[in-house]
Amino acid sequence: MTALTYTILTDPTSLEASVDGRLPSTGTVYLMVTNTRQTVPWLRIEVKVPVGDGAGHLTRDISTIKPRGEYTDTQSGPQAATQPVIVQPQGTDVFQVTTQSGRLEGFAPGDYMLLTLENVAVAPTAGVAVLTVTETTKTSRGWQTSHAAVPVVKAAPKEIPAPRDFRPDKAMLDAGENLTLSWDGSNDFSYEIRFPGGHAVIAPGTRTWAPADAPKRATTYILVATDPTTQKQHFLTTTVQVRYPVLETLTATSGIDTPWVQGTANKGRVTFTGTGAEIFSNSGGQGTVHADRADLNGVNAEWVQGRSADDGWISFPKEGLNVRKGAGQAWGTVFADKVDVNDVITNQVHGSGEGKGYIQFLDQDKGVRIFGGVSAGWIRGLNDDEAWIRFNEKGIWVLKNQNGKRESANVSCATVNDRHA
């Protein structure tokens, strides 16, 4: 039986066994030494730590442990006096505790000593590790060596807590604005961020990531956390919006509501009004629509011209339309196979082609002048009962209708000019 009393405490309360492939599970072991009887002269206390991978081992290596010890004298007055004791490793599995002086000292009743073993990398198998304490004290009969066993429980490892709070530093970005993503999660995971068109592997220990290129449109990022032991994966998503998105293509199945649409490099704009749409150029003035064909129910325009500046054009006054040519106001020409009109107002009419005859219309009641001759089978007045002239191989006949029969008619004229009479 030992002269002093030994109690084990741990932080966390339940040490968790390590798992290969993860960061080691670490904790702190406190060995509390108390005296409930008369003063005990003590020289040293040795704590043997079971080292190995099994259920009965506390750690694989004591060299990672940071030991320290303090003795508290509770009998020295209102304020308890605390002084350090010397704690040193002995070999590969023992820590030795001695007084500051290295000599025999009394351990008074009510005093206590706390041995702290920090940064214990817990062995990987769950179970109970028993620390063996060996104390060297002095009695009236001489030196005495006693032993005590103090257990430490190693709980089975828990599943790594899933990562959480995957978040952007800005939910809405302006064009070209940088983005940083952050999250909370265990160092035991390996992390990867996936996004449209690529992915990024996150450096160990890192909890933030910034894409090399700022997003151009609303983008969803996926955080993938992988357990290196079980390969179980956790997925978190976050989406950032871009105030003025750039889209490669857009398919809308039920319509798009927008006051206007504008180009990117060329800032032409279509604005939607209550009556339709207006086209504007880069400078904000009226723009131009280019198309191969337009199928319309109607066109309202001041004028219409061919593609080139010197092409013919048509303007639309209230009286009808004007056909012009070139960039000026000169009259143009209408080309057609046939013209079907109710009336023609013109100074003269030409035949088609060079050297053809033409008809000139004289002022007021002077009639017409024909250049190049007239060829006809017959000529008649406007009404069916008026006389007519018939042309045949012998000459001409002047005829009239008389009681339903054709009869010769009179010729009346003021002058006859016959070059061949």
Of 105-114, 261-270, 307-316, 320-329, highest mean pLDDT: 105-114
Sorting pLDDT into bands at 50, 70 and 90, what band is 420? low
Query: What pLDDT shows up at residue 78?
Result: 63
257-310: per-residue pLDDT in tens?
889 888 877 889 999 999 889 999 998 898 888 888 889 898 888 888 888 888
Q: Is pLDDT at 411 greater than 90 in this prediction?
A: no
pLDDT-based confidence at 45, cuts 50/70/90? very high
> 147 lies in a domain?
yes
Q: Supply the pLDDT for residue 387.
A: 79
pLDDT value for 222: 97
Does residue 392 lie within any of the structural domains?
Answer: no
169 and 150, same domain (yes or no):
no
Please count the structural domains in the chain.
Answer: 3
Residue 18, domain member (yes or no)? yes
Confidence of residue 112 (pLDDT cuts 50, 70, 90): very high
With the C-alpha atoms ordered 202, 208, 209, 215, is the resulting torsion angle positive or negative?
positive
**Looking at the whole model, is its pTM more than 0.75?**
no
| Over residues 42-57, mean pLDDT | 97
Other beta carbons within 10 Å of 268 = 14
Same domain, 101 and 213: no
Pick 49 or 366 by higher pLDDT. Answer: 49
Cβ atoms of residues 406 and 399 within 8 Å: yes
**Domain identity same for 59 and 190:** no
Within 13 A of 173's CA, how many CA atoms are on the CB side?
23
What pLDDT was estimated at residue 110? 92
**Listed ranges 198-202, 263-267, 343-347; the one with the highest mean pLDDT:** 198-202
Q: What is the pLDDT of residues 122-135, one digit of tens each?
A: 999 999 999 999 99
So what's the pLDDT on residue 77?
66
Q: Clarify whether residues 63 and 184 are in a common domain.
A: no
Spatial strand order in the sheet of 260-262 = 260-262, 269-272, 277-280
Residue 362 falls inside a structural domain: no
The mean pLDDT value of the chain amounts to 89
Residue 187 or 382, more confident: 187
Nearest CA among 133, 86, 129, 80 for reference residue 108: 80
Q: Is residue 87 part of a domain?
A: yes
Examine the pLDDT at 352 and tell me if it is beyond 80.
no
Higher pLDDT, 372 or 237: 237
Find the domain containing 39 and state its range: 5-155
- 265 and 218 housed in the same domain: no
Domain co-membership, 278 together with 151: no
CATH label of the domain that carries residue 222: 2.60.40.10
pLDDT of residue 416: 66
**Residue range 24-38, pLDDT digits in tens:** 999 999 999 999 889
Whether 168 and 49 share a structural domain: no
CA 285, CA 295: separation in Å to the nearest integer?
25
Whether residue 421 is predicted with pLDDT greater than 60 in this model: the reply is no
The pLDDT of residue 419 is 58
Mean pLDDT of 106-125: 96
pLDDT at 65: 97
User: Of 125, 155, 185, which residue constitutes the final position of a domain?
Assistant: 155
Q: Are 238 and 268 contained in the same domain?
A: no
Percentage of the residues of the chain whose pLDDT score is greater than 90: 51
> How do residues 136-175 score in pLDDT, each as one tens digit?
999 989 999 999 999 999 999 888 889 999 999 999 999 8
**Lowest-pLDDT choice from 181-190, 336-345, 391-400, 411-420:** 411-420
Asked whether residue 193 falls in the same domain as residue 142, the answer is: no
Assign residue 65 the CATH number of its domain: 2.60.40.1510
Residue 401 scores a pLDDT above 60: yes
Instruction: Compare 102 and 225 and report the one with higher pLDDT.
Output: 225
Give a yes or no: residue 350 inside a domain. no
Regarding whether 215 and 122 lie in a shared domain, the answer is no
Q: What pLDDT band is residue 313 in, cutting at 50, 70 and 90?
A: confident
Whether 136 and 29 share a structural domain: yes
Residue at a domain's end among 105, 136, 155 = 155
Q: Are 95 and 49 in contact (CB under 8 A)?
A: yes
227 and 281 fall within a common domain: no
Query: Which of 63-67, 70-74, 116-120, 285-289 shows the lowest mean pLDDT across its residues?
Result: 285-289
pLDDT of 71 higher than 70 = yes
Q: Higher-confidence residue: 404 or 33?
A: 33
pLDDT digits (tens, 9 = 90+) for 5-23: 999 999 999 899 998 888 8
The answer to whether position 117 is within a domain reads yes
Q: Give 398 or 199, the one with higher predicted confidence.
A: 199
Whether 420 is covered by a domain: the verdict is no
